[in-house]
Structure 1
């Protein structure tokens, strides 16, 4: 799998790093020139697949689908047993993940920069940083998250799990006061 240095602008800040996918922002993708200062992520050798969609292609398609709110494309990428752990610890199954956009999720910017990939058996574990701007039910969800993506490659790369943890958190959700 090739390592591509990529760059995306999030608001007025540039984000750059080596990537096995792309960073998507404001519905545009751009690759940055390689620099000696860029850190080289660790990765292991991917399994040989001559006719299947590559993991790079799946990451690119996933990032575009998230940005565009494209639940139909996401549905083709997610494994039937998909599960997500959100940044505040909530769990979403495949159908709940796909319904996020009809339930008020809207991205204005979305970027994913993989730091490295590990291949174990027929699976790939991708760790990276997701930056986003947008809203959910009129509440800002701008922030940066450490993300772990798990893919199974049997027979095609499908995302089995995503786990997001706060890196630069958006505001915590409002909770009602406990009873007195």
Structure 2
């Protein structure tokens, strides 16, 4: 686990910020402390379908973030839409920010009628 924390420390910018899936905001030290303390354990994590755009000294990647994790012993598995922001400076690229948004089902008005609770498709 220590090597993973060292790697996260190395690839993240000093002013790194994480916006979590419930809207909480963590700075770099708070983010790393969740791993150091053992409160947050990531069993597996993958980024699916990444799309990256580079803007000079900054880059943005949007992907589907799939994790199997636990927080304080409770399951924290999920799929999120993730936005990663990286900046280029001395020493190369560093991760400046991550925002995670839960991927949910579309609201009922956006689903086909047969998928809406208690509704039937219109018949002609």
Normalising by the residue count of structure 2, what TM-score does the alignment of the two structures yield?
A: 0.76
- Residue in 2 that maps onto 1:148: 83
Change (3 A) 1:131 1:69: farther
- Residue in 1 that maps onto 2:40: 105
Runs of 4+ with >3 A deviation: none
Contact 1:71 1:99 in 2 (8 A): no
Unaligned stretches of 5+ in structure 2?
105-124
Total equivalences in the alignment: 103
How well do the aligned residues superpose, as a CA RMSD in angstroms? 2.1
In structure 2, C-alpha distance between the alignment counterparts of 1:76 and 1:111, rounded to whole Å = 19
Q: How does 1:77-96 map to 2 (within 5 A)?
A: 77-96=11-30
Tell me which protein shows more helix as a share of its residues: 2
Secondary structure at 2:46 match in 1: strand
Unaligned stretches of 5+ in structure 1?
1-64, 169-180
Normalising by the residue count of structure 1, what TM-score does the alignment of the two structures yield?
A: 0.53
Q: How does 1:18-167 map to 2 (within 5 A)?
A: 70-101=4-35, 102-155=37-90, 156-167=92-103
Contact 1:105 1:136 in 2 (8 A): yes
Tell me which protein shows more strand as a share of its residues: 2
- Residue in 1 that maps onto 2:113: none
- Residue in 1 that maps onto 2:121: none
